[in-house]
Homo-oligomer: A and B are copies of this chain.
Amino acid sequence: MNLKQLAKELNLSISAVSKALRDSHEISAATKATVIAKAKELNYQVNPFASSLRKQKSKTIAVVVPEIANNFFSLAINGIESIAQERGYHVLIYLTHEDFQKEIAITKLLQNGRVDGILMSLSSQTANILHLEEIKEKQIPLVLFDRVAESIDCPKVNADDYKSALKATEHLIENGCRNIAFLSISNYLSISNKRMKGYVDALRSNGLKSENSMIIECSNHEENNKSLIKKLLKSKHRPDAIFASVEKLALNVYDVCKELKVNIPKDLKVIGFSNLQTATFLNPSLTTITQPAYEMGREATSILFKIIEKRGYNMILEKTTLKSEIIIRESTLAVSKK
């Protein structure tokens, strides 16, 4: 069933039917009513490809994220989808699996007009932003969220990572910790730097010397991370707290502590950035810095639609920072050591 057939049924021209369906002011109310009724009766639906080809608009956005089996990203996608569905947009999803080359390939794929805009969170392996510059050159609206690159000129949505890392570190210090190890995953992105900076500044402003700062470089290799943590916990300069910059690392710490029979929080306090819904049921329950993932998704999508719908808006650099929440649980409880 296409416009041509529908027009024939109605004894109208194709253009009249098309206009009626798009509620054009050129068409009388009576004609519109009959057209709409007939279209419904015959279950007519506009061909999206013909429409997109003609209008040069896809009514589709792309979401490019490192992974999906991850609480933060699945919550963010939930937020993205909620706004997109409201506005009648379709959502294409692409996973980079933390692979820079895949990320580049995907951005290339998206340069042919398939989508009206792109929401993106960069992979941890991303080493430069040439691929993002290409997107910008092609004038495709782009909004980055969470894993953001400072060096690119586009709207960004993230959380107050510096501030919450600062507060989290202070929380540890208040609860008696003096040797706090920060588990980082370094990359091109500023996000991990910001968290690290918050940690370092908190040490400094609390009179802890810089030699007290322990920054442990982790990777995406679970086993390597665990042996790093194990080594750390067995060393002479064993920390009294661990600050995990990402969720996975906090769980690795739990794993190692279970194995080494290190008691949390008595022997070691643990805090981590995490969107784990079950943090409260862990043994012991985990103190987390929880980002507003759902809201970040919604916010990023709202901004993207502003750019898509008002051309030229692209030039406005919008940077939105949402507040994370520190949820204090057992893993950082002050315990009198006997």
Binds B, one of A68-76, A144-152, A178-186, A231-239: A68-76
Q: Establish whether residues B71 and A77, one from each chain, have CB atoms under 8 Å apart when the complex forms.
A: no
Q: Establish whether residues B251 and A49, one from each chain, have CB atoms under 8 Å apart when the complex forms.
A: no
Q: Which of A60, A68, A78 is packed against the most chain B CB atoms within 10 Å?
A: A68
Q: Interface range on chain A: under 10, 10 to 19, 20 to 34, or 35 or more? A: 35 or more
Q: Establish whether residues A91 and B90, one from each chain, have CB atoms under 8 Å apart when the complex forms.
A: no
Task: Flag whether A273 is at the interface (Cβ < 8 A).
Answer: no
Q: Establish whether residues B78 and A69, one from each chain, have CB atoms under 8 Å apart when the complex forms.
A: yes
Question: With A49-B58, A112-B45 known to touch, is A85 a contact of B95 (CB < 8 Å)?
Answer: yes
Q: Establish whether residues B48 and A50, one from each chain, have CB atoms under 8 Å apart when the complex forms.
A: no
Question: With A68-B74, A78-B95 known to touch, is A111 a contact of B45 (CB < 8 Å)?
Answer: yes
Task: Flag whether A113 is at the interface (Cβ < 8 A).
Answer: yes
- A130-171 CB mask vs B (1 if < 8 Å, else 0) is 000000000000000000000000000000000000000000
Whole-angstrom CA separation of A2 from B307 in the bound complex: 25
Question: With A69-B71, A278-B282, A283-B281 known to touch, is A90 a contact of B114 (CB < 8 Å)?
Answer: yes
Question: With A74-B74, A251-B278 known to touch, is A68 a contact of B81 (CB < 8 Å)?
Answer: yes
Q: Establish whether residues A48 and B91, one from each chain, have CB atoms under 8 Å apart when the complex forms.
A: no
Q: Establish whether residues A69 and B58, one from each chain, have CB atoms under 8 Å apart when the complex forms.
A: no
- A276-293 CB mask vs B (1 if < 8 Å, else 0) is 111001111100000000
Query: Nearest Cβ distance between residue A63 and chain B, in whole angstroms?
Result: 8
Q: Which of A49, A112, A114, A285 is packed against the most chain B CB atoms within 10 Å?
A: A49
Residues of B within 8 A of A60 (CB): 92
Task: Flag whether A53 is at the interface (Cβ < 8 A).
Answer: yes
Q: How many monomers of this protein are in the complex?
A: 2
Task: Flag whether A93 is at the interface (Cβ < 8 A).
Answer: yes
Residues of B within 8 A of A58 (CB): 49
Query: Nearest Cβ distance between residue A252 and chain B, in whole angstroms?
Result: 11
Whole-angstrom CA separation of A114 from B254 in the bound complex: 46
Whole-angstrom CA separation of A112 from B305 in the bound complex: 24
Q: Establish whether residues A78 and B71, one from each chain, have CB atoms under 8 Å apart when the complex forms.
A: no
Whole-angstrom CA separation of A78 from B97 in the bound complex: 10
Contact residue among B67, B70, B74, B282 (Cβ-Cβ distance under 8 Å from A70): B74
Question: Nearest CB to that of A88 among chain B residues?
Answer: B109
Residues of B within 8 A of A71 (CB): 69
Residues of B within 8 A of A113 (CB): 47-49
Task: Flag whether A46 is at the interface (Cβ < 8 A).
Answer: yes
Whole-angstrom CA separation of A277 from B283 in the bound complex: 14
9 A-B pairs (CB sep. < 8 Å): A47-B112, A48-B113, A49-B50, A68-B68, A68-B77, A69-B74, A77-B93, A90-B92, A254-B281
Beyond A77-B93, A91-B94, A92-B93, list 18 extra A-B contacts (CB 8 Å): A43-B111, A48-B114, A49-B49, A49-B58, A53-B53, A69-B75, A69-B78, A69-B294, A74-B74, A78-B95, A81-B94, A85-B94, A85-B95, A91-B92, A93-B93, A276-B278, A282-B283, A283-B284
